Structure 1
Amino acid sequence: MPRTKKKQQHKKGSDTAVQGTNDSSVVSKASAAARGYFRDAFLQHFVCRVARRAPLINRGYYVRWRAVDHCVRRFLQVTAGCPKRQILSLGAGFDSLYFRLRADGDLDRAVVYEVDFADVAQRKAALIAANETLGGMLDSCLPSSPGPVYVSSSMYQLLGVDIREEAQVEDALSAAGLHWAAPTLVLSEVVLTYMETDRSDATISWAAKLLPQSVFVMYEQICPHDPFGRIMQEHFLKLNSTLHALRQYPDTRAQRRRFLTKGWDCCVCLDMNDFYLRLIPKEERDRVESLEPFDEHEEWHEKCCHYFILTASRGLLMEQALLPAPPVSSAPVISWSPTVLPVRPIP
C-alpha cells in the first residue's frame, strides 16, 4: 500500500476513535448527573440509556463539569453588560452546555457556537431535531447559512468542520455570524490533546490572533512521566486516541508558558486538586462525597493531579480572572503505589 494512502487511512481511523471518546464522555457525564453530582436535565437525551458508572468515574466527571461550568458562568458574569458575547466550543461533541445555559436564562445577548467533525455535528443535529425537549430549546430557526451549518438559531450555531482546518473554521464561523471583536470564551474540553502538538499550538495561536477580547478555557491531562501518567497514556493509546500535548507540556507551568508564548496576555492553570479544594465550598464537597460509598481516596487525589483547568485571556475586558492564581506551593501529592492502588484512568 502506498505510504500516503496508508497514512490517510491511519488518520481516518484515529479521527474515528477520537469521535468515539465523545460517546464515552457523554455517557459518563449522564451517569454523574443521574446520581445527583450536578444538575443537567439534557444529557439524558444524548444517550440511548443512562448507564451507571463507578463512583470514582462519577467524581471525576463531576469535578470536570464543575470546573468548566465555573469558568463559563464567571465569563457570563464578567460580560453581563456587553451588547454581545459569545461562547465558541471546539470539539463540542454531545455537550449540553447550550441547553443548560438556555434553560437557566443565562444567554441574554449571547450566542453559543459549537464546532466538531461533520459526522458528529450531523448526529447531534439529528438528535436535536428528533427530540421534543431539545428542539424546544431553539427559540427560532434561522435560514440556513452558507457552509457546514447543521443547526442555526438566534442563540445556537452547530457547525461541522474539522478544527484542524483553521481557514475552513474561520470561514464557517464568519458565515454563521460570529463577531470576531466581541467578547468570546473559547472552550476546549479534552480536545486539543488528541491533535498533533504543532496543530494544537497553531489553534491556540489562531484564537489569540483572531479574538482580541477573549478567554480560552481548557481542561486536559498532565504529568505523563509517573506510573499513573504512563498507564493513563497507555489507556488512551489502546483506544487509538493518543494524548499528544502532555509530552511537550507535562505540567501546569509548561501549559501556562505555552499560552503566554502563543499570543495570550494572562494565564492561570490549576490542577484539579487545587480547584476542588480551593474553589468548591466545603458544604458542596461534603454533599458530593456523601452521594455514594467511596473508598478510593488515594486514586481520586492521584487522578486530580493528572488533570488541569486553564484560563488564558486577551484584552482589557478579560483582565478579570476567571480562576485565582495557584498557591506558591501546592499541597503535597499523595504518592502512588502499584501494590496498593489499582489504576483505572478516567477518560
Structure 2
Amino acid sequence: MALQQTAHDACSRRVHCVSKGYLDDPFVRLFARDLTIVNSPLMNRGSWLRSMAFENMVYRFSQVHGGAPIQVVSLGAGVDTLFFRLRQRGSISFSKFVEIDLPDLIEEKRGIIHRNHELSSLVADDVYHAVPGDLADANSIASLLQTLTDPSAPTLLIAECVFVYIPAPAVLALLTALTQLFVGDLMLVNYDVIEPNDRFGSMMIENLKERGIHLAGITGAPTIVSHAERAKGLGFTSVRAVTMKGLYLTVPRDTQVTLNKLEMIDDWDEWNLVHEHYAFVIAWRGGDGTSASIPQVFIAPPPS
C-alpha cells in the first residue's frame, strides 16, 4: 500500500501545482484522493520540473519522427494524466499509449475513466490501454507488450520514479527484455532517486523506510554515471544523464522568471541539495542500431 500512496501523494501535489498556476492539467483532480496538502514552493517547483521534462520529451520524440504516430509505454504510470493532457491538445499522434502498474491502481484508474464522459471519449479508440502487470517479472511484461504494441514502431519508454522501487536485477532484466522486444527506434526517459550514500541521501532513505517505502533498486544505479553506464550496456547508443539540478539550469531564463513570479524559493541551497539526489536520463537507440542526436528537454524561445 505504501507505493500506491506515493502515486496518490504525487497526484495531490500536482493538483496543488495546478491551483498555483504552475501546470495546465484539467484532469488531475479527477484522480486525486486528497486535496488538502501543505504548500511547499520547493516541492511545487520540483513537480513542475519533472512534469514538464516528461511532457517535453514526448513532444521532442514526436517531432523527431515528423509528427508520424509514435507509441508510448509508461512503466508504473500510477494515476498520471499525461496521455489525457496530450490527447486533448491533439498535437501528438499516438499509435499506442500503454500504461502498466499494480492491479489495484489500474482498476481504480479504469473506474475513474469509465465514470467520466470526457476521459471516456479520449480513450474511445484502441490507442490507450491501462493494464496491470508486475514490473519485476520481465517475461510477463514483454509478453504483455508484444500483444499490445508494434515492436517495430518508434517507441518511447517512460519510467517516472519507478525503477528505484524494484530490485536492481529485476530492473536490468526488464530493460533487457524491452530493448530486445522493441527493435525499431527506441528512447528511454527515466527519472529516479540517486546518491543514497551521502548524508542527505542516507537521511532520505531512512525517512522513506519509516513510511514503509523501501528503495530496493537504488543500488543498481546509485549515481548519474551508473545510470548512463546501464543504458549504454543495454545497447542505447546516445545517452544523456543529468541531475534535476542540472536540468533546471537549462530551463530558459524567461520561464524561470515566470516561475519566480508564482512563488519565490527562499533557500536555493536546499533546492540544489534535494535536486542533486534525482536523476533525469534520456537514452536513445536508432532502429538500425546507430546513434542519434538527443534533443534538448527545454528549448529557449527565439530572440524577439
The aligned amino acid for 1:25 is: A
Cα distance per residue 1:28-68 (max 9 Å; x no partner): 12211221112111111111353343222111111111211
Quote the residue 1:320 is aligned against: 293
Q: How does 1:133-152 map to 2 (within 5 A)?
A: 133-138=118-123, 140=124
In structure 1, C-alpha distance between the alignment counterparts of 2:268 and 2:226, rounded to whole Å: 27
Quote the residue 2:91 is aligned against: 106
> How far apart are residue 111 of structure 1 and its match?
2.0
Quote the residue 2:268 is aligned against: 297
Q: Which runs of 4+ in 1 moved over 4 A?
A: none
The TM-score, its normalising length taken from structure 2, stands at 0.90
1:45 aligns with 2:60: no
Match of 1:115 among 97, 100, 124: 100
Judge conservation of contact 2:8–2:33 (CA < 8 Å) in 1.
Answer: no
The aligned amino acid for 2:282 is: T
1:200 aligns with 2:171: yes
> Secondary structure in 2 aligned to 1:123?
helix
> Secondary structure in 2 aligned to 1:319?
coil
> Secondary structure in 1 aligned to 2:262?
coil
Quote the residue 2:134 is aligned against: 162
Q: How does 1:251-262 map to 2 (within 5 A)?
A: 251-262=223-234
Match of 1:57 among 36, 43, 47: 43
When residues 323 and 253 of structure 1 are mapped into structure 2, their CA distance, relative to the original with a 3 A threshold, is farther
% identical aligned pairs: 27
In structure 1, C-alpha distance between the alignment counterparts of 2:292 and 2:170, rounded to whole Å: 27
1:187 aligns with 2:158: yes
**Range with bigger deviation, 108-117 or 197-206:** 108-117
In structure 2, C-alpha distance between the alignment counterparts of 1:126 and 1:191, rounded to whole Å: 23
When residues 179 and 240 of structure 1 are mapped into structure 2, their CA distance, relative to the original with a 3 A threshold, is same
Judge conservation of contact 1:205–1:263 (CA < 8 Å) in 2.
Answer: no
The TM-score, its normalising length taken from structure 1, stands at 0.80
> How far apart are residue 168 of structure 1 and its match?
2.1
> How far apart are residue 191 of structure 1 and its match?
0.5
> How far apart are residue 154 of structure 1 and its match?
2.4
The aligned amino acid for 2:40 is: A
Quote the residue 2:82 is aligned against: 97
In structure 2, C-alpha distance between the alignment counterparts of 1:25 and 1:37, rounded to whole Å: 15
> How far apart are residue 269 of structure 1 and its match?
0.3
> How far apart are residue 70 of structure 1 and its match?
1.9
In structure 1, C-alpha distance between the alignment counterparts of 2:95 and 2:271, rounded to whole Å: 36
> How far apart are residue 293 of structure 1 and its match?
4.3
Provide the aligned length of Structure 1 versus Structure 2.
Answer: 293
Gaps of 5+ in 2: 298-304
Match of 1:32 among 6, 13, 17: 17
> Secondary structure in 2 aligned to 1:37?
coil
Judge conservation of contact 2:191–2:279 (CA < 8 Å) in 1.
Answer: yes
Quote the residue 2:59 is aligned against: 73
In structure 2, C-alpha distance between the alignment counterparts of 1:90 and 1:322, rounded to whole Å: 22
When residues 269 and 28 of structure 1 are mapped into structure 2, their CA distance, relative to the original with a 3 A threshold, is same
The aligned amino acid for 1:321 is: I
- C-alpha RMSD over aligned residues: 1.8
> Secondary structure in 2 aligned to 1:256?
helix
Judge conservation of contact 1:114–1:158 (CA < 8 Å) in 2.
Answer: yes
